[in-house]
Structure 1
Amino acid sequence: MAGAEVVVVGAGIVGAACAEALTLAGVRVTVIDRGGPAGGTTASGEGNVLVSDKGPGAELELAIASRAEWETVLGRLAGADVEWEAKGGVVVGTGDPAALTAFAAGQVAAGVDARVLTPAEVFELEPLVTRRVTVGVHYPDDAQVQPVLAATALLKAVRARGGTVVPGVEAVGVRRSASGRVVGVETGGEVIGCDAVLNACGPWAGGFAEAAGAPIRILPRRGMILVTSSLPACVRHKVYDADYVGAVGSADADLQTSTVVESTRAGTVLIGSSRERIGFDESLRVRVLRELAAKAVGLFPFLRAVPVMRAYGGFRPYAPDHLPVIGPDPRVPGLWHATGHEGAGIGLAPATGRLITELMLRQPPHIDPHPFRVDRPAVIGA
């Protein structure tokens, strides 16, 4: 296999976005994946592009930048149908409204368009939502994309610019020079020569990093989603309860569920979300599905009479401090990481790709990369 300037290990949405941004800048890229493109975590996502679920701080800044970058990337992918829907999001509370309104106020101060709603205004936006709502917040910038279509379109752009995408090739380590610098990726019997390797392996990034001689703390966090049968238009926005924000930021390994409900272009309704750290256990847990269904009916009572067509799940790359890992590894020159986005990888991918490209080419970064650095205690220890 011919060499490249950069080998991207992982053909999910984050790896694809990084490869697309690098090839746009003229970098010769090869993308490899032990499975097929977008066949892992990306295939098991809902397609969330959210600014609504993050409090003020580095990840919110990345999310705001990435929401804008999605528009730019979509312009470059003109003609590719990735089912982009700038539908907006509605967060609802059914208890004391103080916590949700305070959270929204903090986001507004950080630059998010967040509009507090009365119950009547919520019902105008979502007529079928439960009448127990006491407060809502409308986020016009929340959006949705079909993740497999998006990753596939990004990889198509990589190929069009002379890059290479090779499925069915597993990276098992890196080849290093006498000085310790990366000079290739080992794939079991073959070495792909390169100047740099980007670890975009999602929840498997910790395993590849260890094989490369630079362990990082990335753990799998499983999530499940229910899919209903096709319905007439019924849920207009991405709607979730106020508990979702707490579940996203929790470090608890035990099962947590919160309600996220949205329609797709095909007419099905996606129901999430769950989070639990159980390693790479793929067994179906009926208890999780029951919780998701019960909470969804609590948010949208009409769903009680709607059949569930299927359920699917996947593993998200979880970093202990809930921040992505983006940048060079100081322990192994030429080794880079783009992982740890957990359930926000779809939304954060474009800004991640742009930031990786800026750092590799020593260009001024469009956001501060320091919070996402590899050599922070939560990722590699003290």
Structure 2
Amino acid sequence: MTEAKEVIVTGAGIMGASIAWHLTKAGAKVTVIAGSGAGGVATPNSFAWINASWGNPEPYFRLRIRSMAEWTRLANEVPGIPLQWCGGLCWDLPRPELEAYAAEHSAWGYGIERVDRAGAARIEPNLTELPDFALYVAEEGVAEPVAATQALLADAERRGARLLTGVTATALVRANGQVSGVDTSAGRIVADEVVIAAGAGSPALAATAGIELPIGTPPGLIVHSRPYQKLLNGLMIGDRLHMRQTAEGRIIAGSDFGGADPGMDAAATARDLFAAMKAMLRGADGLELDFHTIGYRPTPVDGFPIIGRAEGAGGVYVAVMHSGITLAPAVGLFAAREILDGDRDPLLDPYGLARFTQ
């Protein structure tokens, strides 16, 4: 019997949690370094829309649609993941672009329904401003990001993973072109492989082993109401505002799903955004702003994920992307297989780090 592979996962957001869970389930000895606690930094600030919506070339669409299916599998396997296929109503593009998106993605098998003003009113009866034309995708949904992450980490711990909360990864340990562990605020930890899934903190950590990750971290502001009576049935992706209602009844919104530009005065931006959100909802007279978040989204410069081993530095696997909520189940599954068995799923082929040096 071969000895279990030891893997360190740096980052305890949704991506790190999924990879750690899948590795542990497959028999690896996993240590998760959770510097900011379970949930990470970007994950709590996520809009949490699970989709394969517009703007995706077909290979990326295929990865996203596969991951949507993997969300259902993961929620069935892990207790406590709050997953809801609530549907998404979208009109955040001019009509010709919406029509082009609908034609393209429908041909790929995405379940898009064209709706008029009356149809939109049936789907979201509490909207005060209704589009003349919109698209509705019943199979889109949400996973409450922090609760899902915590559920994955708790189940990984139950299966034998070690979670180091409040410990910061400071540098990769490298010798003879091979990474053999991580230096942390609590000392050195050795392993057979290190997974970099630390979101916006990934480039700095990778750089300690001479690995360059071409990633930007644009900020996004999202407002959160106090819990309130049910006003929204699903995701609303409008031309000026994107919003949804969480499982605990909070209505969250941004100028797009990635969040608003905070501007020079984030508090003022949040107040204006909240006022616009409240004005769009019938029955929202008692709705109150609770807080706003500013997330820094780890976004590779070409907009697509970086998933795979880093060339020239053995023992390192990178998983950094903006669409972490949508992609977490599939990437967790595929990364675990590649790390433990060397099998790379064809859906990941376009997303290796080497594409930036070719």
| TM-score under structure 2 length normalisation | 0.90
Instruction: Answer yes or no: is the 8 Å Cα contact 1:4–1:30 preserved in 2.
Output: no
Instruction: Answer yes or no: is the 8 Å Cα contact 1:88–1:237 preserved in 2.
Output: yes
Report 1:96-245 matches (<5 A).
Answer: 97-177=95-175, 179-188=176-185, 190-241=187-238, 243=239
Distance 1:18 1:148 in 2: 16
- Runs (4+) off by over 4 Å: 274-278, 281-284, 301-305, 363-367
Instruction: Answer yes or no: is the 8 Å Cα contact 2:51–2:64 preserved in 1.
Output: yes
Aligned residue for 1:361? 340
Instruction: Answer yes or no: is the 8 Å Cα contact 2:87–2:141 preserved in 1.
Output: yes
Distance 1:53 1:152 in 2: 30
Cα displacement (A) at 1:329: 0.1
Aligned alpha-carbon RMSD (Å):
2.6
Instruction: Answer yes or no: is the 8 Å Cα contact 1:62–1:367 preserved in 2.
Output: no
- Which of residues 288, 291, 297 is equivalent to 1:310? 291
Distance 2:221 2:192 in 1: 38
Distance 2:157 2:212 in 1: 31
Instruction: Answer yes or no: is the 8 Å Cα contact 2:48–2:143 preserved in 1.
Output: yes
Instruction: Answer yes or no: is the 8 Å Cα contact 2:172–2:209 preserved in 1.
Output: yes
Instruction: Answer yes or no: is the 8 Å Cα contact 1:49–1:142 preserved in 2.
Output: yes
- TM-aligned CA distance change 1:151 to 1:125, over 3 Å: same
User: Amino acid of the residue matched to residue 170 of structure 2?
Assistant: V
Cα displacement (A) at 1:184: 1.6
Cα displacement (A) at 1:176: 2.3
User: Amino acid of the residue matched to residue 261 of structure 1?
Assistant: M
- TM-aligned CA distance change 1:53 to 1:150, over 3 Å: farther
Distance 1:143 1:211 in 2: 38
- TM-aligned CA distance change 1:100 to 1:4, over 3 Å: same
Distance 1:363 1:104 in 2: 37
Secondary structure class of the residue paired with 2:169: coil
User: Amino acid of the residue matched to residue 48 of structure 1?
Assistant: W
Distance 1:181 1:261 in 2: 45
1:127-146, CA deviations, whole angstroms, 9 ceiling, x for partnerless residues?
12244511111111111111
User: Amino acid of the residue matched to residue 39 of structure 2?
Assistant: A
- TM-aligned CA distance change 1:277 to 1:118, over 3 Å: closer
Aligned residue for 1:66? 67
Instruction: Answer yes or no: is the 8 Å Cα contact 1:220–1:277 preserved in 2.
Output: no
- Which of residues 287, 304, 324 is equivalent to 1:323? 304
User: Amino acid of the residue matched to residue 374 of structure 1?
Assistant: L
Cα displacement (A) at 1:75: 1.3
Distance 1:172 1:331 in 2: 20
Distance 1:373 1:43 in 2: 27
Aligned residue for 1:338? 319
Report 1:240-251 matches (<5 A).
Answer: 240-241=237-238, 243=239
Aligned residue for 1:270? 252
Distance 2:241 2:263 in 1: 22
Secondary structure class of the residue paired with 1:327: strand
| TM-score under structure 1 length normalisation | 0.85
Cα displacement (A) at 1:4: 6.3
Structure 1 gaps, min length 5: 244-257
Distance 1:197 1:48 in 2: 29
- TM-aligned CA distance change 1:48 to 1:277, over 3 Å: closer
- TM-aligned CA distance change 1:191 to 1:365, over 3 Å: same
1:130-186, CA deviations, whole angstroms, 9 ceiling, x for partnerless residues?
445111111111111111111111111211221111112111212223x31111211
1:235-254, CA deviations, whole angstroms, 9 ceiling, x for partnerless residues?
1110112x5xxxxxxxxxxx
Whether 2:37 is the aligned partner of 1:36: answer yes
Aligned residue for 1:7? 8
- TM-aligned CA distance change 1:276 to 1:159, over 3 Å: closer
Distance 2:232 2:28 in 1: 43
Cα displacement (A) at 1:47: 2.4
1:39-91, CA deviations, whole angstroms, 9 ceiling, x for partnerless residues?
411122232222234433333222111111111111111xx333221111111
Report 1:46-61 matches (<5 A).
Answer: 46-61=47-62
User: Amino acid of the residue matched to residue 22 of structure 1?
Assistant: L
Aligned residue for 1:85? 84
Aligned residue for 1:371? 350
User: Amino acid of the residue matched to residue 325 of structure 2?
Assistant: I
Number of aligned pairs?
354
Structure 2 gaps, min length 5: none
Aligned residue for 1:289? 270
Instruction: Answer yes or no: is the 8 Å Cα contact 2:172–2:205 preserved in 1.
Output: no
Cα displacement (A) at 1:269: 1.1
Counting aligned pairs with the same residue, the percent is 27
Instruction: Answer yes or no: is the 8 Å Cα contact 1:97–1:134 preserved in 2.
Output: no
Aligned residue for 1:260? 242
Instruction: Answer yes or no: is the 8 Å Cα contact 2:236–2:242 preserved in 1.
Output: yes
Secondary structure class of the residue paired with 2:91: strand
Distance 1:332 1:295 in 2: 49
Distance 2:226 2:213 in 1: 41
User: Amino acid of the residue matched to residue 251 of structure 2?
Assistant: V
